[in-house]
Amino acid sequence: MTKIETITTSLRTAIAEQIIGKDVVIQQVLAALLCGGHVLLSDIPGTGKTTLARALAQSLDASFHRIQFTPDLLPSDLIGVSIPDPKTNAFVFHKGSVFTQILLADEINRATPRTQSALLECMEERQVTADGVTYPLDSPFFVIATQNPVEMQGTFPLPEAQLDRFLLCLSLGYLDHEQELALLSRKETPNPIRPMVTVPQLLEAQQELTQVKVSDAVKLYIADLAQATREHKQIQLGLSTRGMQALLKVSCAMAAIQGRDFVTPDDVKDIAPACIAHRIIAKSSAWEEGTQLCRNLVAEILDTVAVPKETSWN
C-alpha cells in the first residue's frame, strides 16, 4: 500500500505542524478522506476544529471553500441560484459554495433544517439539482463540518438522516499539560502549509484502497457489532445497514494507512466509536446526555462482543 502510506504520511506531517498532539484524530480524518466520506468535528470552541480543517485543505492541492453557517443562511447560498441574463433574458445558473473539493461547513448546527438539508444530496450523491438540472460535483468532494455540542441556544441539532451522512464524528478535546506548554512556547505562528498531495495522487490512493482484504471472520465481527447495537436495552435505534458498511470501509482505510493490505479486529475496534456513536439513538431525553451515553454504550458493546481469533482473520 505504498501510495496510501506515502500520501497519508505527507499529509499527517504537514497538518501536525498546525495541530499539536492530535495525531490520532488526524489519522482518522485522513481515513475518511481516503474512503470518500465526510467528517463532523463536534467539540467545544477553541480546540482547533477550524484549524484542522484549514490545515487539511492547505496540505491538499484542491479547491477549498469555507461557509460560516448562520440562521439566515439560505439553501441557495450553498447550492447556487438561477439569475436572468439581461442580454439574453435566459436564466443562468450561478454555482454556490458547495462547488468545491474541500468544503468547511463551520458551525453547521447554526443553520436552519432547510439549509442543512440542502447538503444531503451533495454529500450522498456528489451532485446538485437545481431547476430540474443536475450538476455533478468535482472529485474528491469532502465535507468537514464543525459544531459546538454544548452551546445549544440558537442552534438546530442535526437530524439523524443528516448525521448518518457523516462517515465519522470526531472530537479533538483538550491538549495534555505538556502539549499546552509546547503550544504556549511557540515563538511565532507556524508558516502556511504548502500543498503536499495532488488530487490525482489522492484519487489513485482511493482506488488502491479497494485492494485491502477483509476476512469472513472480520465481516462477521462487524455484523455482530451492528446486531449488538440493535438488541441493546438502552439503545432505541441501532446501527443502520449503511452505518455497518461505513464501518467496514473505514476499517480498510485504517489498515491501509498502517501499511497493511488486510483488516484486523483492532482496526475495527479503534475506529468503531467514531463511526457508530453518532448513528445510534440512546433512550435518553437530554440531547447532550444522550450523546455521551451513546459513546459509553459503544465502548460497552466493544468490550462484550467476541473478537475473532487471529488464525481466522490473518
151 membership: H or E segment, kind and range: none
Q: At what angle do helices 287-304 and 265-276 cross, to 10 degrees?
A: 170
Residue 189: the pLDDT is: 67
Residue 86 corresponds to which cell in the numbers above?
439581461
Q: How open is the CA angle 161-31-18, to the nearest 5 degrees?
A: 105
Q: Give the pLDDT score at 175.
A: 80
What is the reported pLDDT for 224?
96
Helix (H, G, I), strand (E, B) or coil at 212: coil
Angle at 297 between CA 291 and CA 302, to 5 degrees: 135
Task: Tell me the angle at which helices 287-304 and 216-231 cross, rounded to the nearest 10 degrees.
Answer: 140
Residues in the chain: 314
298-309 per-position pLDDT tens digit: 999 999 999 887
Cell output for 81 = 441560484
Q: What pLDDT does 102 receive?
A: 92
Residue 8 is predicted with a pLDDT of 92
User: How many Å apart are CA 119 and CA 121, to the nearest integer?
Assistant: 6
- What pLDDT, in 10s, does the model give residues 17-76? 888 888 999 999 999 999 999 999 988 887 888 888 888 988 988 899 999 999 999 999
pLDDT recorded at residue 152: 67
Residue with the three cell numbers 465535507: 143
pLDDT of res. 54: 86
Helix axes 2-16, 49-59, angle to 10 degrees: 130
What is the pLDDT, as a whole number, of residue 90? 83
Please state the pTM of the whole predicted model. Answer: 0.90
d(CA 172, CA 76): 31
Residue keyed to cell 472529485: 139
> What is the mean pLDDT of each successive set of 10 residues along the chain, which is 314 residues long?
84 87 92 94 83 87 90 92 84 90 92 90 90 90 88 78 90 82 74 85 91 94 95 90 95 93 94 94 63 86 88 60
**Residue 164 near residue 119 (C-beta atoms within 8 A):** no
The pLDDT assigned to 99 comes to 94
